[in-house]
Amino acid sequence: MSQSLRSPSRPRSLLRHLRLTLEMIKFEHSVFALPFALVGALLAFRAQRFHVPSAGAKLAWIVVAMVAARSAAMAFNRLVDADIDARNPRTRMRHLPAGLLSRGFAWGFVAASTAVFLFAAGGLNRLCFHLAPLALAVLFFYSFTKRFTSFSHLVLGFSLGIAPAAAWIAVAGSLDPRILWLTAAVASWTAGFDVIYACQDYEFDCAEALGSVPRLLGIAGALWVARLLHVAMIACLLALVSSLGLGVLALAGVAVVAALLLYEHSLVHANDLSRVDAAFFTMNGWVGVVFLSFWAADIFLRRTGV
């Protein structure tokens, strides 16, 4: 009888732990890179003259693969950084340092997310499946980089930047070098906003001898690096528009993204980091959504081919 009374609590406990894990990895922020992956897929559809068998299924697998890969990488990062997070006043109340989640459950979540990612990659095509372990290696490697380099932001940028190239491969079965302009754009964008976010931990990074651009150059210098990286993003997007022969809506999307980035930088100053969360979370979420909206409209309304 006691076992039957206890058993209903097990599903509730599992769901609670899963909810806490999704909070820990900020699952809702999957929106950051996903729009760029979807644009990579749509550009590949366009290059194939929209003659892609099971296009809807491919898009679904791409979404599953993206979300699973990010979930695995974020949970892995929280595990690797748990001891550092426990010493940082800004992060000591994260789920693992605060004891809200066990390391064992978090490792199980990493394993499950990894399995889902590999399964989704296999559902796309053979090349995606063969490249999937390499993609995971890049994602997991990022978590260690702050321990030996000031440029971990660039590694994070590359980790997200491979998403649109991977989506192109998922649709076309091969890589077109032109899509690497989008990889470079996403890498520059991500590295730029990560530099801004890292400014919050300037004093902690200095005390712990952790690598970051703010520690290397100071907060004011780091913010200039972030601005230059976002200028590089816009330049890469313009190069992609030119190389793929996209139209006015794609250009308009680039212009709106540039405006959003300008506003993002206006929120943060070397002597006032109080609005970093608004710059990091809100504005970058809008960047992805706006980019996808304008570029998808250009791709579908024009259908001019490559």
Residue 306: pLDDT band with limits 50, 70, 90? very low
The neighbour count for residue 56, using CB atoms within 10 Å, is 8
In a domain, 10, yes or no: no
Residue 128: pLDDT band with limits 50, 70, 90? very high
Question: At 100, which CATH number?
Answer: 1.10.357.140
pLDDT digits (tens, 9 = 90+) for 250-263: 999 999 999 999 99
In a domain, 7, yes or no: no
pLDDT digits (tens, 9 = 90+) for 52-73: 888 889 999 999 999 999 999 9
DSSP SS3 for 92: coil
Q: Please tell me the least confidently modeled range out of 68-72, 147-151, 218-222, 276-280.
A: 276-280
Torsion angle defined by CA atoms of residues 275, 278, 281 and 282, in that order, rounded to the nearest 10 degrees: -170
Q: Which two tokens stand for residue 145?
A: 């980089």
In a domain, 6, yes or no: no
In a domain, 14, yes or no: no
Q: How far apart are CA 152 and CA 190, in angstroms?
A: 11
Residue 23: pLDDT band with limits 50, 70, 90? confident
pLDDT at 8: 56
By residue range, what is the domain housing residue 69? Answer: 28-302
Mean pLDDT of all residues in 76-97: 95
Q: How far is CA 285 from CA 135, 162, 259, in A?
A: 23, 18, 14
In a domain, 8, yes or no: no
Report the number of distinct structural domains present in the chain: 1
Q: How far apart are CA 100 and CA 294, in angstroms?
A: 41
pLDDT at 65: 96
**Residue 284 class from Cβ within 10 Å (0-12 exposed, 13-18 middle, 19+ buried)?**
buried
pLDDT digits (tens, 9 = 90+) for 88-112: 999 999 999 999 999 999 999 999 9
State the pTM of this model.
0.92
